[in-house]
Structure 1
Amino acid sequence: MFTKVLVAEDYEIANQGIIKILNEKIGIHDIEEAKYCDDAYLKFRKAYNSQEAFQLLITDLSFRQDHKVQTRTSGVELIKDIKKIQPDIKVIVYSQENRPDKINMLFDKLNINGYVCKGQHAIKELMTCVDGVYQGKTMLPAELTNNSKANTMIHLDDLDMILLEQLSQGFTKKEIRAKLKEQKITPNGESAIDKRVSKLFEDFKAKNTTHLVAIVKDLGLL
């Protein structure tokens, strides 16, 4: 079982609940906690630099803002920065977020290992998730394994992400096509790009480019 765990959670009750479960139910005793992403990152760097790296990160996605200025304000930013230094660290997200598309993004883009939605059965699910991740499994939540929800999920490939990024920077479809041709990225034809962009609008139910960019940023895709 994991022997060294970092918990990033800004709510004291939830934080202590996670630590209690890890300690008393799973038998993990070397646990450090942080209520801010920056604090969690500093504790991670200190342990890593001391060659006593954490084996598992359990983090929320949303953190409350207060008077303390933070460089990292979300669990997504924390995960990205930690994985730049320690790519093999195991990551479990423990959050109220239940939108399949955002959860799927965390697995696809950040390569997290497990996800638990806060709720009535969250503690039991967290215990199962920790055990499964330790065994090398990818622990998907019900929000992704439920067939009716999985069928409505939006799957984006590299070209979709390039289009979204370029649109978010204010480039027109004509300018994007020119960039794709210059970088020899295909397909880059007018019809292909028009169809791709139209599908993005349809998939995200966006009214215009500004609305589309706002939606994907809210989902954490940009």
Structure 2
Amino acid sequence: MPERIKILIADDHQLIIEGILSYLKDIDNLEIETTNSCDEAYGKIKVALTENPFDILFTDLSFDNTDAGCRIDSGENLIKTIKQEGHPIKVGVITGHSETNRIFNVIQNLNPHAYLLKGKCNTNELNFAIQKMLANEVYYTHEIHQKLLKRALIEIQMDDVAIQILKELPNHPKISNLEGIITKDDGSFLKIRSIENKLAKLRTDLQANNNTDLVLKAKELGILD
């Protein structure tokens, strides 16, 4: 008989946990535990290390049930703690957070083996993600993969001038005020016509309706802080 796969699910909403369990019940050879807090998840992982360690942790990112007594108050901090301490467990994210900037930061900084979206995963996807994780490979659900791809393509199109314009745009009520501020590679200032042309291209690339929308899109993609 194949070795059982031990999984821990951490989410502060019990209904979400029940939904995930309903999908996992159709997958063979799983041993599953659940918890509603990051502190308890961390404790379970530590205790299990000595005899029967967990193979996989699936965690949400945001936990609303935290208080001043919590040591670990978010899924990000739980993942960070586990990785810093070198625990031999594969980590996957199951969350409702689909903002490109949040996704990019989590994947860039924490390198989870999987990133799935609540309400959109099913038995087949979870099974596929589990197999990928056990093989030390990554799995991002299609929507996540598409958002990362779009951000990467936009980032390739971003040069220093574009970044300057996007950063300065919220600080000036008139586009003409940017003349004498935006510089080219040789240190000379960009003329207003060139700034306007660059803005028009940026609005097209980021599918923005206007300059305010452009800045919001840049922030959503993580191009601006």
Whether TM-score is above 0.5 comes out as: yes
Distance 1:21-1:122 versus aligned 2 partners, 3 A rule: closer
Task: Indicate the structure (1 or 2) with the bigger Cα radius of gyration.
Answer: 2
| Alignment coverage as a number of residue pairs | 172
Mapped partners of 2:148, 2:19: distance in 1: 29
Deviations 1:129-178 (A, max 9, x none): 223222332102223432x76233576xxxxxxxxxxxxxxxxxxxxxxx
Compared CA separation, residues 141 and 120, structure 1 to 2 (3 A): closer
1:207 offset after TM fit, Å? Answer: 4.3
Structure 1 segment 7-22 matched on structure 2, within 5 A? 7-22=9-24
**Separation in structure 2 between the aligned mates of residue 201 and residue 44 of structure 1, nearest angstrom:** 47
Superposed, 1:200-215 pairs within 5 Å as 202=166, 207=170
SS in 2 for 1:108: helix
Between the two proteins, what is the percent identity of the paired residues? 27
Deviation larger for 52-61 or 13-22: 13-22
Partner of 2:151: 152
Q: How much does 1:122 deviate? A: 4.5
- The alignment status of 1:113 with 2:77, answered yes or no, reads no
Indicate the residue corresponding to 2:26 in structure 1: 25
* Per-residue deviation, 1:92: 0.8
Q: Which residue identity does 2:163 align to in structure 1?
A: K
Partner of 2:100: 100
1:46 deviates by 1.0
1:199 and 2:163 matched: yes
Following superposition of structure 1 onto structure 2, how do residues 53-92 of structure 1 map, counting pairs within 5 Å?
A: 53-65=53-65, 69-92=69-92
Aligned to 1:46: 47
Contact 2:6 2:30 in 1 (8 A): yes
| Distance in 1 (alpha carbons) for counterparts of 2:31 and 2:98 | 30
User: Following the alignment from structure 1 to structure 2, what is the Cα–Cα distance between the partners of residues 79 and 150?
Assistant: 24
Give 5+ residue unaligned stretches, structure 1: 156-194, 209-214
Partner Cα distance (1:206, 1:21) in 2 = 47
Distance (whole Å) between structure 2 residues aligned to residue 94 and residue 79 of structure 1: 13
Counterpart-to-counterpart distance in 1, 2:165 and 2:52: 47
Q: TM-score, normalised by structure 1?
A: 0.63
Q: What is the rounded CA distance, in whole Å, between the counterparts of 2:165 and 2:61 in structure 1?
A: 26
Distance 1:207 1:135, change over 3 A: same
Residue in 1 that maps onto 2:134: 134
Deviation at 1:71, TM superposition (A): 1.6
Contact kept in structure 1, 2:66 and 2:73, CA below 8 Å: no
| Residues 29 and 132 (structure 1), Cα distance of their counterparts in 2 relative to 1, 3 Å cut | closer
Aligned residue identity for 2:16: A
Question: How far apart in 1 are the matches of 2:63 and 2:79?
Answer: 13
2:41 alignment partner AA: A
The answer as to whether partners of 2:6 and 2:32 remain within 8 angstroms in 1 is: yes
Question: Which deviates further from its counterpart, 10-19 or 69-78?
Answer: 10-19
Q: What RMSD over aligned residues (CA atoms) do the two structures have, in Å?
A: 3.6
Displacement of 1:81: 0.7
Structure 1: how far apart are the matches of 2:115 and 2:97? 10
Q: Distance in 2 between matches of 1:35 and 1:121?
A: 20
**Once the 2 structures are TM-superposed, how far is the Cα of residue 104 of structure 1 from its aligned partner?**
2.5
Is the CA contact 1:99–1:143 (under 8 Å) kept in the aligned structure 2? no
Q: Contact conserved, 1:2 with 1:55, CA < 8 A, in 2?
A: no
Structure 1 residues 68 and 7: alpha-carbon distance in aligned structure 2, compared to 1, 3 A threshold: farther
